[in-house]
Amino acid sequence: MSAWRTSLPQASTAAVQVDHAFFWVLLISGLILFVLLVLIVGFVIRYRRGSPAFRGPLPKSFKHELEIGWTVATTFLAIFIFWWFTAGNGLPPRAAPDQLEVHVVAKQWMWKTQHPDGAREIDALHIPVGRQVRLVMTSQDVIHSFYAPAFRLKQDVLPGRSTELVFTPTELGTFELFCAEYCGTQHSHMKGEIMVMTPAAYRAWLPRQPHGDTLAHEGEALYARFGCGACHAPGSQVRAPKLGGLYMSTVLLRGGASVKADDAYLRTAILEPRDQIASGYDPIMPSYGGVATASDVEALVAYLKTLEKGGEP
Amino acid sequence: MSDVAHPAAPDHPATPGSAVPPDYLHDGHTLRSWLFTTDHKRIAILFALSITLFFFIGAIAISVVRLELVTPAGDLVSDDTYNKMFTLHGIVMVWFFLIPSIPATFGNFLLPLMIGAKDLAFPRINVLSWYLYVAGALLTVVTIIAGGVDTGWTFYVPYSTMFSNTAVLTAAMGVFVNGFSSVLTGVNFIATTHVLRAPGMTWFRLPLFVWAMYATSLVMVLATPVLAMTLLLIVVERWFDLPVFDASRGGDPLLFQHLFWFYSHPAVYIMVLPAMGVASELIACFARRRLFGYSFMVYALVAIAVIGFFVWGHHMFVSGQSPYANVVFSFLSFMVAVPSAIKVFNWTATLYRGSIGFDAPMLYAFGFLGLFTIGGLTGLFLATVPIDIHVTDTYFVVAHFHYIMVGGTVSAFFGALHFWWPKITGRLYPETLARIAAVLMFFGFNLTFFPQFVMGYLGMPRRYHVYPPEFQIYHVLSTSGAALLGVAYVMPLFYLIWSFRWGARAGANPWRAKGLEWQAPSPPPRDNFLTPPVVGEPYDYHPPEGPTAAEEQVA
Amino acid sequence: MDERRREIWIRPLLTWAALCVLLAATCALAYVPMGRANLAVSLAIAAAKAGLVGVVFMRLFENNPLNRLAAAAGPIWIFVMFLLLFSDYATR
Amino acid sequence: MSGAFLKPPFENLERQHVAVSFGMWIFLGSEILLFAGLFAGYGVYRNLCPDGFLAAGRETDIVYGTINTAILMTSSLAIAVAGRAARAGFGKMAWRLLIATIVLGLLFLVLKGFEYREDIEKHLIPGAGFPLAQKGAQIFFTYYWVMTGVHAIHVTCGLIAVGRLAVAGRRNLAWLAGSASEDATALYWHLVDVIWIVLYPLLYLTGRAHG
């Protein structure tokens, strides 16, 4: 039998918070359990059948004061724990300026990650220590869950949608990555490693990777392969919306509504083009739902985000 | 009236000049007289036999799982078999054992007796409810024969609708059909409690077991249909290929989870509320004490049933649900902890100044109390969003819900079985063996599930066929605990069957308990009572006011 | 038609007439562009119709109060379900 | 006469009536939650894909929908009056009204069948060849088929229950007035009507004012 795990590294800022919360809730519930055990065992011994203990009626004050007392106390304690650990920490952290955005695609049964400069990995993720990381994750098939116990992080990865995890690694080393949402036959084989490196080592590591392309470059290639330019290029015969500077601009929709062209909008526009039709254009674009894979869509979106106004493709 | 033993009533107190009706066990001996019965007691027995069968099917499935997990490599069974086994365990144990466990057996048997009625309000619907259970159970058996299903008991989409190539349809239909059995039982219980209480049996004189059945029925009636519809939508998507949850066609897989947990969280209360009712009966009887804070206990039961509907989102903190919804559901989950805590405090306070006996049912009740408390307290961890993010979908959650559903409900089920066994069969069980089984069950349970809390916190994900070797020691402990637990479950099977034939005759009220069911003969005849039962204050074990004779002497 | 027969018919028949008027109204209003209010209006009319059927045809206020309790449970639970469901969908 | 209708475990007829109608009301509460599972999905998807739902809503046949609503409302009237007539001692009239209810219910199903045929001819079944491209339009039609299908099953169950009343009532007209079944069956039939009243705006009135 190999080594016996008795502790888990605290490898992120979140890990410290979670362990802190865990400690206090453990202490509070341990105290409650201890008091109850003492009372139950004490009563059991003192009032066992045949013991000489006094067994008269309860004192009058005992009844309602006690009940109302512990009801109120329990309510306050519950609200207190909620306020202390959830109300403040339940919402995701704010984005840091030097945030590192890594794209993660999950599929049965592997993790594919891609760094901003195009470095690709399978079942592995290298990140520099001390820098905030934002994982943008999507699934190609069923629901998976990105679980890194050492970071105390977990987030389900859904098909047709992207979910995010924002965290800051604080410790160097190699840590486990699991899939925590049951995803089929080889669910328990869907594992990986997260390598936290010094920033210098990360910079040195990046170029040595099986360097695919940057996500945006890959998106550019896909743009050409799918023939998007046939309609979207400035000189095209077909009238289609211009894509330069589209990201984060406000798009007027047919019917008068308007929408901000964020990641979700771009993704929907590729997969379900007739869902939100830009004002002044005909709904003629075909859906790329069955054509572009989840990672293709991520690449296309990354490419669209790089296009400046006027800098048309 | 002080705590004086009732003279043991004869089995059949014959009134002069009238023939004594046969007890329900001897009221017809043909198979037909059982299969077409409308007697709530016989239907309870039919349910008891069927859920026992399914309990063992579920137990065999989990034995394979636990044996596989003795080693970190996947060496005993293939991953596919492993997945089918834990799925089978979940589906069978949740829907074909735990949900009907106490309500359909003890609820069926005792509810009319406890309120002084001859039967449930709709006896034919009651037997229909058993047939629906059987139909659902048969579909589950068909599922097993067809090679099993590997979706997990939660049937999460899109795995269940588009990716699994196992018998999802029959499994889902089995649960669907079984749902109607729950609904009909619930309708029957609610109507019976409202209209068939004996004269003098006011709402605040009802035993807490009846209140628990009432609250449970509320959940059954209002939550189960949503599950039925959700499973139907899975069938529609899988079989007819119509888009419902499919993300590639505009659907939202999280909608499935919302609808599923809208039922499945309250379903936890379908399992545990009856156990709370049982514990209340046992603790009051064996502490010889009026239940502390009766009315608070009632309010707490109803509050748990109602608030239990508002907390389903705490199963979805990492699912991609909005973080704002997480905060709302976290708050509501903390709120449902309050009535649960009140119940534990009141049971403890009931022991104060009691006269506590240690018969087997009471040992089971103590087991329930301890295990339910641990299960409930670990619920606080899971309601706290940051902690839940780390421990959800790990063995921590597995341990938590087993503490509630097995530690709580199954302990109470066995407590009830021993407590009412004399009423059901007219015989006494062997006390020493029963105490050994009760103690064994408590220790076996803790050995099985406590290590799971630890390994869950250390990052062991659930539903894993192979796992990092550093967790092996915990799995070995867990499996050895499961073996003990298995012995503790099988023991009663043997000595109870033995006592059914050779046990000592019980008399009407061997525990000197105060519920109306003890005024009927053991076993009761078709119409339950030979003479109309006399309704008094509930749990009148100890005088509420005024000193007893002994205390007067002291003064 | 004697007096007693008329008494049997009169209230249900009036209710039926009201239901028909409401049906015509909801059908006509559906063609009036009101944006999002179209759904609200048509559901409000549906609720009114359901209320009429419940109160008159199903004699909700002639029988015992228990039935009203049971009848209220369904709508209340649906309300809670939507409230909490949209605590997710409205803030996602 | 009351003895004939009294069933165990009840000891008086009034209590039995209370129990049966209350039991039916609880069951109806459960039925409402069954449809709530569908309403929830409909509500969520209508919110997620409003355009698809409005476009798809225009494709259902409002003529069939409206006529069928009127038919079910009328059948509800018939069975409501049948109950009142039975209790007032007009057994024959009550029996005729039950037959009218059955006829109207069957008419509803027949029209629904014609409507389904028309929907199939227009390829309004989600999948290949579905005419609308907007996101969510197919999901609308999934809900259309499931909602109307589950409702049609309820109509069928209701027809069987009313048919049972009519058969039993034909032999013994007094039975209609005395038995608690009449009340319970009528309640069930009214619920089927109420559900349709809610389905009607969701499936037939959606999107009519747009486009």
Q: Model ipTM?
A: 0.91
| pLDDT number for residue B19 | 73
Closest to A144 in 3D by CA, of A301, A294, A299: A294
The DSSP secondary-structure symbol of A168 reads -
Strand partners, A179: A146
* Residue ranges per structural domain of chain D: 25-205
Pair D144, D207: CB distance under 8 Å: no
List CB contacts of D119: < 8 A, sequence separation 6 or more. D60, D61, D125
Same domain, A128 and A178: yes
pLDDT band for B18, please (50, 70, 90 cuts).
low
Q: What is the pLDDT of residues B57-115, one digit of tens each?
A: 999 999 999 999 999 999 999 999 999 999 999 999 999 999 999 999 999 999 999 99
Q: Which residue of D has its CA nearest to A276?
A: D51
**C92 contacts in chain B (CB < 8 Å):** 321-322, 325
Q: How is chain D classified by DSSP, letter by letter?
A: -GGGT--TT-SSHHHHHHHHHHHHHHHHHHHHHHHHHHHHHHHHHHHH-HHHHHHHHTTS-HHHHHHHHHHHHHHHHHHHHHHHHHHHT-HHHHHHHHHHHHHHHHHHHHHHHHHHHHHHHTT-SSSTT-S--STTHHHHHHHHHHHHHHHHHHHHHHHHHHHHHHHHHHH-HHHHHH-HHHHHHHHHHHHHHHHHHHHHIIIIITTTT--
| pLDDT number for residue A2 | 61
- The count of residues in chain D is 211
pLDDT at B167 > cutoff 60? yes
Contact D135 A283 (CB under 8 A): no
pLDDT at A210 > cutoff 80? no
Contact D66 C23 (CB under 8 A): yes
Question: Kind of pairing, strands A153-157 and A144-148?
Answer: antiparallel
Alpha-carbon gap, residue C53 to A274, rounded angstroms: 41
**C88 contacts in chain B (CB < 8 Å):** 254, 258, 313, 321-322, 325
Return the structure tokens found at A50.
């045949």
Return the structure tokens found at A8.
């888990």
Contact A49 B248 (CB under 8 A): no
Question: End of a domain among A153, A178, A208?
Answer: A208
Q: Which residue of B has its CA nearest to A146?
A: B318
Pair B198, B533: CB distance under 8 Å: yes
Asked if B320 is an interface residue toward chain D (Cβ–Cβ < 8 A), one would say no
Question: Which of B214, B222, B312, B317 should one mutate to test binding to chain C, selecting the residue with the greatest count of C CBs within 10 A?
Answer: B222
Question: What residues 102-131 of chain D have any CB closer than 8 A to a CB of chain B?
Answer: 125-127
Facing residue for A189 by CB, picked from B383, B466, B545: B466
Please, is B416 exposed, middle or buried when counting C-beta atoms within 10 Å of its C-beta (0-12, 13-18, 19+)? buried
pLDDT at A144 > cutoff 70? yes
pLDDT at B422 > cutoff 90? yes
By residue range, what is the domain housing residue A133?
A: 100-208
Listed ranges A278-292, A295-309, B538-552, D12-26; the one with the highest mean pLDDT? D12-26
pLDDT band for A89, please (50, 70, 90 cuts).
low
Return the structure tokens found at D167.
């058969």
Q: Which residue of D has its CA nearest to A287?
A: D133
Phi and psi at A103, nearest 5°, equal -95, 135
A131: left (phi over 0), alpha (psi -120 to 50) or beta: beta
Strand partners, A102: A135
pLDDT band for A260, please (50, 70, 90 cuts).
confident
Alpha-carbon gap, residue D12 to D26, rounded angstroms: 21
Q: Which residue of C has its CA nearest to B332?
A: C84
Return the structure tokens found at B5.
């033993």
Alpha-carbon gap, residue B217 to B186, rounded angstroms: 4
Split into its structural domains, chain A has a count of 2
List CB contacts of B21: < 8 A, sequence separation 6 or more. B27, B525, B526, B527, B530
pLDDT band for B11, please (50, 70, 90 cuts).
very low
Fold classification of D25-205 (topology level):
Four Helix Bundle (Hemerythrin (Met), subunit A) (1.20.120)
* Residue ranges per structural domain of chain B: 39-554
Low-confidence ranges of chain C (pLDDT < 70): 1
**B344 contacts in chain A (CB < 8 Å):** 36
**D184 contacts in chain C (CB < 8 Å):** none
pLDDT at B217 > cutoff 70? yes
Question: Which of D51, D54, D140, D210 should one mutate to test binding to chain A, selecting the residue with the greatest count of A CBs within 10 A?
Answer: D51
Contact B226 D37 (CB under 8 A): yes
Q: With the CA atoms of D165, D170, D171 and D176 taken in that order, what torsion angle do they form, in degrees rounded to the nearest 10?
A: 50
Alpha-carbon gap, residue D94 to D79, rounded angstroms: 8
User: Given the structure tokens 């901003």, which residue do they identify?
Assistant: A116
Alpha-carbon gap, residue A197 to A205, rounded angstroms: 9
pLDDT band for A313, please (50, 70, 90 cuts).
low
Mean per-residue pLDDT, B17-22: 74
Collapsed DSSP state (helix, strand, coil) of residue A182: coil
Contact D18 C66 (CB under 8 A): yes
B456: left (phi over 0), alpha (psi -120 to 50) or beta: alpha
Asked if B196 is an interface residue toward chain D (Cβ–Cβ < 8 A), one would say yes
Q: How far is D48 from chain A (nearest CA, A)?
A: 10
Asked if B387 is an interface residue toward chain D (Cβ–Cβ < 8 A), one would say no
Same domain, C52 and C91: no
Contact C89 B310 (CB under 8 A): no
Alpha-carbon gap, residue B106 to B419, rounded angstroms: 11
Question: What residues 85-144 of chain D have any CB closer than 8 A to a CB of chain C?
Answer: 85, 88, 90, 93
pLDDT at A211 > cutoff 70? no
Q: With the CA atoms of B466, B471, B472 and B477 taken in that order, what torsion angle do they form, in degrees rounded to the nearest 10?
A: -120
Same domain, C8 and C44: yes
pLDDT band for D4, please (50, 70, 90 cuts).
low
For residue A139, what is the enclosing H or E element?
strand A133-139
Phi and psi at B548, nearest 5°, equal -80, 170
Mean per-residue pLDDT, A40-62: 87
Q: What is the average pLDDT score of chain B?
A: 92
pLDDT at B20 > cutoff 90? no
Higher pLDDT, B249 or A210: B249
The DSSP secondary-structure symbol of A81 reads H
Same domain, A219 and A200: no
Higher pLDDT, B35 or B550: B35
Q: Which residue of B has its CA nearest to C85?
A: B258
pLDDT band for B14, please (50, 70, 90 cuts).
very low
Contact D41 B259 (CB under 8 A): yes
Return the structure tokens found at A273.
């083009």
**D49 contacts in chain A (CB < 8 Å):** 275
Out of A272-281, B459-468, C82-91, D30-39, least confident range: A272-281
Alpha-carbon gap, residue C67 to C61, rounded angstroms: 9
The DSSP secondary-structure symbol of B54 reads H
Asked if D153 is an interface residue toward chain B (Cβ–Cβ < 8 A), one would say no
CB-side neighbour CA atoms (13 Å) of D15: 17
Alpha-carbon gap, residue B388 to B339, rounded angstroms: 22
Pair B358, A50: CB distance under 8 Å: no
| pLDDT number for residue B544 | 46
Fold classification of B39-554 (topology level):
Cytochrome C Oxidase; Chain A (1.20.210)
Alpha-carbon gap, residue A102 to A155, rounded angstroms: 15
pLDDT band for D178, please (50, 70, 90 cuts).
confident
Mean per-residue pLDDT, B293-297: 92
Strand partners, B485: none
Asked if B250 is an interface residue toward chain D (Cβ–Cβ < 8 A), one would say yes
Out of A262-271, B1-10, B315-324, C68-77, least confident range: B1-10
List CB contacts of D183: < 8 A, sequence separation 6 or more. D17, D20, D21, D24, D83
The DSSP secondary-structure symbol of C2 reads -
Strand partners, A164: A136
For residue A174, what is the enclosing H or E element?
strand A173-179
User: Hey, how many other C-beta atoms are within 10 angstroms of the C-beta on B198?
Assistant: 18
pLDDT at B4 > cutoff 50? no
| pLDDT number for residue C61 | 86
pLDDT at A312 > cutoff 70? no
pLDDT at A248 > cutoff 90? no
Cβ-Cβ contacts under 8 Å between C and D: the total is 129
Pair A232, A313: CB distance under 8 Å: yes
Q: Which chains touch A (3 or more CB pairs under 8 A)?
A: B, D
pLDDT at B554 > cutoff 70? no
By residue range, what is the domain housing residue C77?
A: 64-92
Cβ-Cβ contacts under 8 Å between B and C: the total is 36
pLDDT band for A213, please (50, 70, 90 cuts).
low
| pLDDT number for residue A310 | 61
Facing residue for B313 by CB, picked from C80, C88, C92: C88
Phi and psi at A89, nearest 5°, equal -100, 0
Pair C19, C55: CB distance under 8 Å: no
Asked if D49 is an interface residue toward chain A (Cβ–Cβ < 8 A), one would say yes
pLDDT band for B416, please (50, 70, 90 cuts).
very high
Question: What residues 7-66 of chain C have any CB closer than 8 A to a CB of chain B?
Answer: 66
CA angle in degrees (0–180, nearest 5) for D44-D48-D53: 90
Asked if B16 is an interface residue toward chain D (Cβ–Cβ < 8 A), one would say no
User: Given the structure tokens 């939202």, which residue do they identify?
Assistant: B252
Contact C8 D18 (CB under 8 A): no
Alpha-carbon gap, residue B260 to B226, rounded angstroms: 8
Q: Which residues of B22-55 are buried (b: 16+ CB within 10 A; e: fewer)?
A: ebbbebbeeeeeeeebbbbbbbbbbbbebbeebb
pLDDT band for A219, please (50, 70, 90 cuts).
confident
Pair B74, B68: CB distance under 8 Å: yes
Split into its structural domains, chain C has a count of 2
Same domain, A105 and A175: yes
Alpha-carbon gap, residue B114 to A103, rounded angstroms: 62
Question: Which of A13, A33, A47 should one mutate to test binding to chain B, selecting the residue with the greatest count of B CBs within 10 A?
Answer: A47
Beta strands in B151-303, from DSSP E residues, in sequence order: none
Question: Which of B385, B395, B480 should one mutate to test binding to chain A, selecting the residue with the greatest count of A CBs within 10 A?
Answer: B385
Facing residue for C84 by CB, picked from B194, B222, B310: B310
Same domain, C50 and C69: no
Q: How far is A95 from chain B (nearest CA, A)?
A: 16
For chain B, give the percent of residues with pLDDT over 90: 90
